Amino acid sequence: MKKGNIIAFKGQGLIFTILSFLLSLFDKDWGRLQGKPWHLAIAWDKAYDGWYILEATGQGVKINYFNNKFLESMTRNYCWLDRVPTRAEMNKFLKEHIGKKYDVAIYFFTSLAVIIRHYFNRPIPKLLDQRFSCWELVQEFTDAMNDPILSKFDVVIITDIIKALEARETIRKPRK
């Protein structure tokens, strides 16, 4: 793991199981995604026996500590950026986003986007606001580091992010 990597947390629990099932009805690729992740975050700073991770939670955008044992068993680490962001770039992003409120409304818009995409094959535009879900925070971070994972004008769907991460990972692996 290195600074700026995207961390995908494995989904777990009853709500995840229900929402994951519903998502699989509309996105047939969902079942093949490794670990069916449900939460995304950004590797921020290495610690002695773990990492400080920037994430959007119900309490807003904040940095939390996770030990290596948890990270190895409950997450998957993706390298999206071609280079490690500088300390100045990361500090600027942190200053602009830390403490921002969690975006609860995005679940409604994500559900609507999944349904419209499934039945009409059209994206729906994202409302530009100052609230963030974990998916939106990752999207915003990669955009701020000049390597956008998705357009910041489309509603974020976790499957889009994971598919992009896995596609880039496949491209970077050397052929045997």
> Using one digit for the tens of pLDDT, what is the confidence trace for 14-32?
766 666 666 666 666 666 5
Span 144-164, mean pLDDT? 84
- Smallest CA-to-CA distance from 65 within 78, 80, 47 is with 47
HSE, side-chain direction, 13 A CA sphere, residue 74: 13
Contacts of 161 (CB under 8 A, 6+ apart): 6, 40, 135, 138, 139, 149, 150
Instruction: State the Cα–Cα distance between residues 134 and 61, nearest whole angstrom.
Output: 8
Q: For residue 148, what pLDDT is reported?
A: 93
The length of the chain, given as a count of residues: 176
pLDDT-derived band at 175, boundaries 50, 70, 90:
very low
Token couple for 49: 């026996």
Q: Rounded to two decimals, what is the model's pTM?
A: 0.81
Mean model confidence pLDDT for the chain = 81
